[in-house]
Structure 1
Amino acid sequence: MLLLKDIKQTSLALSMGLLVSFSALADNTVDEQNRAKFANQYQSWLATEEQSEREDMLAAYPASIILWAGSAYAKEYNSPRGHQFAVADVTHILRTGVSVEEGKKGLSASCWTCKTPDAPRLMNEMGVEGFSDANFADLGTEIKSVVYCSDCHQEGSEKLALPRPHAQDAMAKIKLPFDKQNTTMQGAQVCGQCHVTYYFQPERHDKVNIPWIFGSTADDIEKYYDTRRFYEWIHPISRTPILKARHPEFEHWSRSEHAEAGVTCITCHMPPATDAKGAEFTNHKVGNALDSFDSTCKACHSSQKTIEKTLQNHKKSIDAKAREVENLLVKAHFEAKAAWDAGATWPLMNDAIMGIRHSQWRWDFAMSSHGLYAHNPQEGHELLDRAIKQVTMARQLLAMVLKQLDVEKVDYPDVSTKQKAQAAIGFDEAAAKKDKQAFIKQQVDKYWDPVSKIGYNN
């Protein structure tokens, strides 16, 4: 087990320059062999650093700040970047905060789980719950590499692996144990160990858990959460016990036409490529499928323009529904607040609050999934249509409660911009950024491996 003194010793070693940095991984024998044996794959993996652009999703969709009020997601939420940025982005984002005083509980180290192969290593050393019970910042000095070969392959081999315990458990729950699957499904599961929704299990020291006891649909997962009376946080405006979805790409894909046809994440996002000598290899840059149309899509689709137009139509229609749900939910949260302020009781409010909970869950399960427009647009529409019905019913119930309590006017905030929405929930972004930068300067820059600064050091 890794003890606090070990962490401090590691910090000291880093400050003295004794530990290998990410750029010096070639000193490791196994890694050196990987680079030589799988040179093309390695070079294409390095190219994920070219995928550096990202979008501020809170600025793009400020109403989501109100929906996520009371959680770290209302502080900062960006579109994903290339695998090379995984450690640096989770280090620098406002959601992960700063260090806490020794002996106090901060953000769980579980936040490292899918960012680095050091996470499975630490789980083996500390035990899964020992790892998750540690503080995120306290293990920062132990993180020396980013999403890498051993996250997906058995060490030194092209054979696929599923090193994360939460993924092994989840696949067993839905009767798809990794060792019983063919290579095609194993490839999808390897991606699905991280591109999947999850939560931190409070009774197990915040270890990562995938909630598939009843199945992997939004309805099944909701049933699991409702049965356990689980919530991520209590919404500070409406008092709703909120559920949070986290990029459920595997779930959406598993019910798609692509899945039925045996087309997986690997097929579209890691297509075969050819090097200068004519040797074929799997491209590990993990890019947009349409960038490699001829090798990914052409076998089934005759026209790239047709696919692009179809995807644009899916995106337009799904986005329109999502904005409608967000607008309705913002109003519902503040209507609930007005009711509580007027003296409402739980017997009066329960059905409306559950309507908000369930509607927001389906909105989140749709919109937190990267690539929904391509992966499973039909399910996206179904989720948002149901969310609209649920929040509409919740607002009708709230209207009855407000009338009963003689509330004639509800104050709705202006959420037209990120700044206005964050002001409405009382979040001081400037102060949070100041604290974060102090943490970066005093801890990360001094003691953490350079992998924690990729994309932030220029």
Structure 2
Amino acid sequence: MNKSQKSMIALLGVLLVFFGFVIIRIGFAKPASTVKIAKIPAGEYDPAVWGKFYPLEYESYKKNATMALSPTGYGGSMKVQKSEQMPEINTNFKGMPFSVDYTEDRGHVYAMEDIKETKRIGPKSPGACITCKTPYLEKFYQESGWGYTKIPLTQLMDQVPSHGSISCANCHDPETMDLRVINPAFIEAMDRKGVDVSKASRQDMRSYVCGQCHAEYFFEPNTVRVVFPWDKGMKAGDMYAYYAEKPGGFVQDWQHPDSKTAMLKTQHPDFETWSTGTHGKAGVACADCHMPYMRQDGQKYSSHLMTSPLTNLDAACGTCHTQGSAWLMDQVKTTQDYTFEVLHTAGQNVAHAHEAIKKASEVPAVNQIELANARELVRKAQWYWDFVAAENSMGFHNPDQSLNTAAQASEFARQAIESANRAAGINLF
């Protein structure tokens, strides 16, 4: 046996020992832990009870109590007034509660606390306001149907325990843990679009459970039923056209005291903006980015810290985008900076339009036709501006559309000022 043959035999021996060791280790190693489905009683809304069976999810859910500023300067979970960054809010929402109190949203665990503390709520506020604040919505709807919306909000809040903010039961069936939607407004809106939510795929449900609350809505007059205005489409122009037809007799959210215009207030159209953007069209779900998969002790679970992907770029974005966290952060920051610049200008122009219309209305023998046109234009301008301003991603969910919508808001505001000038017969602004 020559030297080469001896070396080969020695190498084979080493490999045999090595792979034998690996096989033994695999054979005797404990398998990765698996999650057993626990049948939690229907009507159990305390997340701590759910957490006994799903500790990893529950521990991450509790982190929603953390409050922090956004790394890019937009959004975040600190309870700061948005008017500090956009002072035009005070003018544009003059005469309604958002000019008094308009703070950044905190984590889901604060939903009930924040609705109790906000200055936007008063003794006459309807029960409809609790729709997206608690899993007890299921109980209220089972007991009263849409009638819960007419019950005084304070009366419903008294029925919600301290653990009753947004939690597990908002999104999961307690018996099967399947994703579910409990907001009847979302179910009805999707049904009108020809989508049966009960038959949706799991991937679609990973967005629907978020979209049931992160969306635009209005309270139908008389019934106070919550309605999502999606019948004509999901973009700002589509919904403005929907509102123009005065659905269910709905005309306005309030009248602006300066311009005397019937105004609309947009409510966080996150689901709509995402659904028409690149990620939404590509089938990337809300949870893919905002609740990325994690691993601990060999167990894979979805993070229930429902927060900005910027807090964990590697897990939230790195699965698809391999350019590195610094590059990703720069992309987001740049998009948001550009969006804010155009949006801030649009908001200021809308504020100027309200002022111009006020001045025009005080001119003797003002042209009422032009004045009415100016009011329609400022109503439209503010709706387009607010559609971007009220959306939580500062443009990132759909950069092209957000920039276009904000730019159109500026143009409508400019046209409103010109129309006010014509109505007065002089240049007022």
Please list the CA deviations of residues 361-392 of structure 1 after superposition, one character each: whole Å capped at 9, or x if unmatched: 00001110001432111111110111111111
Task: Give the TM-score of the pair, scaled to structure 2.
Answer: 0.82
Could you tell me which of 77, 83, 90 is aligned with 1:58? 83
Match of 2:338 in 1: 317
Retained in 1: the 8 A contact 2:313–2:328? no
Instruction: Confirm whether residue 46 of structure 1 aligns to residue 62 of structure 2.
Output: yes
Q: Is the 8 A contact 1:311 1:373 kept in 2?
A: no
What is the Cα deviation at residue 347 of structure 1?
A: 2.2
Name the structure with the higher helix share. Answer: 1
Aligned residues with identical type, % of pairs: 25
What is the CA-CA distance between 1:346 and the residue it aligns to?
3.6
1:225 pairs with 243, 251, 255, which one? 243
Distance 1:86 1:30 in 2: 14
Supply the distance in 1 between the matched residues of 2:230 and 2:427 (Cα, whole angstroms): 43
Q: Which residue of 2 aligns with 1:331?
A: 352
Which amino acid is the alignment partner of residue 90 of structure 2? I
Give distance in 1, aligned partners of 2:270 and 2:427: 43
Report the alpha carbon displacement of residue 29 of structure 1 after superposing the two structures with TM. Answer: 10
The structure showing larger relative contact order (alpha-carbon pairs under 8 Å, at least 6 residues apart) is 1
Contact 2:294 2:303 in 1 (8 A): yes
- Distance in 2, matches of 1:29 and 1:364, equals 34
Specify whether residues 255 and 31 from structure 1 end up closer, same or farther in structure 2 by C-alpha distance, changes over 3 A only. closer
The 3 A distance-change label for structure 1 pair 28 and 189 is closer
Q: Which runs of 5+ in 1 are unaligned?
A: 1-24, 100-105, 411-458
Q: Tell me which residue corresponds to 2:149.
A: 132
1:57-456 equivalent positions in 2, closer than 5 A:
57-97=82-122, 99=123, 106-128=124-146, 130-144=147-161, 145-204=164-223, 206-228=224-246, 230-275=251-296, 277-301=297-321, 302-343=323-364, 344=366, 346-403=368-425
SS at match of 2:219: strand
Give the drift of 1:33.
5.7
Whether the 8 Å CA contact 1:321–1:385 is kept in 2: the answer is: yes
2:158 is matched by which residue type in structure 1? T
Q: Which secondary structure does the structure 1 equivalent of 2:226 belong to?
A: strand
Q: In the aligned structure 2, how far is the partner of 1:176 from the partner of 1:223?
A: 22
Deviation per residue, 1:323-368 (Å, 9 max, x gap): 2112211111111111212243642311111110111000001110
Please give the root-mean-square deviation of Cα atoms over the aligned residues, in Å: 2.1
Partner SS, residue 294 of structure 2: strand
TM-score using structure 1 length:
0.77
Shift of 1:299: 2.6
Deviations 1:222-281 (A, max 9, x none): 111001172111111101111111100000100111112221110001011122x22111
Shift of 1:42: 1.4
Deviates more, 1:337-346 or 1:320-329: 337-346
SS at match of 1:169: helix
Unaligned runs of 5+ in 2: 1-40, 68-76
Q: Tell me how far apart the structure 2 counterparts of residues 345 and 120 of structure 1 sit (CA, whole Å).
A: 52
Between stretches 321-330 and 355-364, larger displacement belongs to: 321-330
Q: Number of matched residues?
A: 372
Tell me the CA shift for residue 215 of structure 1: 1.6
